[in-house]
Amino acid sequence: MNFLNKSHRFSIALSFPGEHRTFVKQVADILAEKFGEDGVLYDDYHDAEFARPDLDVYLPNLYRTESELIVLFLCPVYPQKRWCRLEWRHIRQLIATLDSDRVFFLSFGNPGDLSEFGIISGDGYIDIEYKGLSSQMVAERILKKT
């Protein structure tokens, strides 16, 4: 699928818990080689923009309306994290619409029960740990989705 029609500010948005920041940063850097840091919604690339009041209102909209493809890095702690929960509330709206193909699930092992998030056992994801994927391999899979 070719999502990248540039009708959105970001080509790729990454949602992840801080426990996996090192790995996700490696993926973000690889994606930025293709899309530039301005084209990847990764917090460290936009820290000056995010140093603002009401970030909790501003940020989720970037995922929902300003990003072509939203990549979630799931794990058991994902639903416990404040920012992940906040981002997910808006990402979930996409799944309930015809835009559900803009959401791409990856996981670090078994993500646990995410049914309260609306992610059910029939939803597909790529298990990074089970497949032994490097950050380069994960980035390649994300690029295949674009």
Whole-prediction pTM value? 0.87
Cβ atoms of 136 and 30 within 8 Å: the answer is yes
pLDDT value at 134 more than 50: yes
Measure the CA–CA gap between 96 and 87, rounded to whole angstroms: 15
Cβ atoms of 71 and 106 within 8 Å: the answer is yes
pLDDT value at 84 more than 50: yes
Q: Give, as one character, the DSSP assignment of residue 122.
A: T
Q: What percent of the chain has pLDDT over 90?
A: 52
Measure the CA–CA gap between 39 and 36, rounded to whole angstroms: 5
Question: Measured on CA atoms in the order 41, 7, 139, 83, is the torsion positive or negative?
Answer: positive
Of 10-24, 65-79, 126-140, which range is least confident? Answer: 65-79
Query: Who has greater pLDDT, 117 or 97?
Result: 97
Measure the CA–CA gap between 21 and 7, rounded to whole angstroms: 28
Cβ atoms of 135 and 30 within 8 Å: the answer is yes
pLDDT value at 142 more than 90: yes
For the stretch 27-68, pLDDT in tens is: 999 999 999 999 999 999 999 999 999 888 888 889 888 999
Give the domains, in start order, of the chain with CATH numbers.
Answer: 10-145 (3.40.50.10140)
What pLDDT is attached to residue 79?
A: 83
What pLDDT is attached to residue 1?
A: 45
